Amino acid sequence: MATLEIKNLHARVAEEDGEQILRGVDLEVKSGEIHALMGPNGSGKSTTSKIIAGHPAYEVTDGEILLHLEDDDFGDLEIPDDVRTWNLLELEPNERAALGIFLGFQYPAEIEGVTMTNFLRTALNAKIDEREELLFGEDDEEEEEEAGYDTSPMEGNVDDGEVGVAEFQKLLKEKMELLDMDEKFMQRYLNAGFSGGEKKQNEVLQAAILEPSIAVLDEIDSGLDIDRLQDVSKGINALRDEQGTGILQITHYQRILEYVEPDHVHIMLDGKVVKSGDASLASELEDKGYDWVREEVYEAA
């Protein structure tokens, strides 16, 4: 079981006189749990998610983000004792991904000319390689460099990496069925020309393939019609139920929480988590609005 632990996180925009956005965020997400992070626009939800993944546009001025790993996090892999706790802020975004962090983007990038299959298999293999390197210090990069192409450069090498083309296609097909995605997506370019809903579905699909320990989903529900919302919700629940992924779901709306029931709900205001509770907090918020939280918090202060 992995635990993502955010302690007293302060951060600002990484430029001269950059605006301070986070003012002491505390949050803990464990594998298998579903957390909802709510809050008004500009309260720092998206920034928190980007900083977890290592976005270079923000500078952490105080606090830390730790990831604690346990033996069952990567299948049968035994994790040496001295590499069970990681300070994420010292790691590159791809290293964080390798250790099981996933960010579902609110606005996923469109990459022309790169097929979904090629991208996802490359990412999966890169992730596995990087994880080996981080945990066991193995570096088989040289071997890989020499491998060259045995098939089309568009598909990559058959033997390149842990997961081969055939094995990967089977895996991808399986996960796509689960999400009710059309097979034709496999050969489409990554997010290029996807509708808003298709992009969100694709984010969940990627999480299903990459099997993260902790998935941070930034407004995965925005721009979804009701059918797609149900598909996406089904996918998110499957992440938790089948892979034991811990979910930190950022949302504005109560709606998705009807399909993906959170174990914990947190409310952010002005760069801090000000209130936490169970699923009922979300309904209460729906009724009373953020002003209620604001009043309560500042009165107490």
Residues of the shown chain interacting with another protein in the complex, contacts defined by CB under 8 A: 53-57, 92-94, 96-98, 102-103, 105, 108-109, 111-114, 119-120, 122-124, 126-127, 130, 145-146, 148-154, 189-190, 206, 210
| Closest approach of another protein to the CB of residue 285, in Å | 29
| Closest approach of another protein to the CB of residue 297, in Å | 32
When the beta carbons of 202 and 251 are compared against another protein, the nearer one is 202
Residues ≥6 apart with Cβ < 8 Å to 9:
22, 24, 25, 26, 48, 51, 60, 62, 63, 64, 65
When the beta carbons of 203 and 231 are compared against another protein, the nearer one is 203
When the beta carbons of 113 and 226 are compared against another protein, the nearer one is 113
The alpha carbon of 53 is separated from its chain's Cα centroid by a whole number of angstroms, namely 8
Helix (H, G, I), strand (E, B) or coil at 4: strand
Q: Which amino acid is at 171?
A: L
| Closest approach of another protein to the CB of residue 119, in Å | 7
**Phi, psi torsion values for 112, nearest 5 degrees:** -70, 145
Distances (CA, A) of 206 to 116, 167, 201, 272: 10, 16, 9, 29
Distances (CA, A) of 135 to 74, 77, 210: 11, 10, 18
Would you list the DSSP string of 137-195?
----HHHHHHH--SS-TTT--TTSSSS-HHHHHHHHHHHHHHTT--GGGGGSBTTTT--
| Closest approach of another protein to the CB of residue 295, in Å | 37
Q: Which residues of 66-92 are buried (b: 16+ CB within 10 A; e: fewer)?
A: ebbbeeebbeeeebeeeeeebebbebe
| Closest approach of another protein to the CB of residue 181, in Å | 17
231, containing H or E segment: helix 226-243
| Closest approach of another protein to the CB of residue 212, in Å | 10
| Closest approach of another protein to the CB of residue 187, in Å | 12
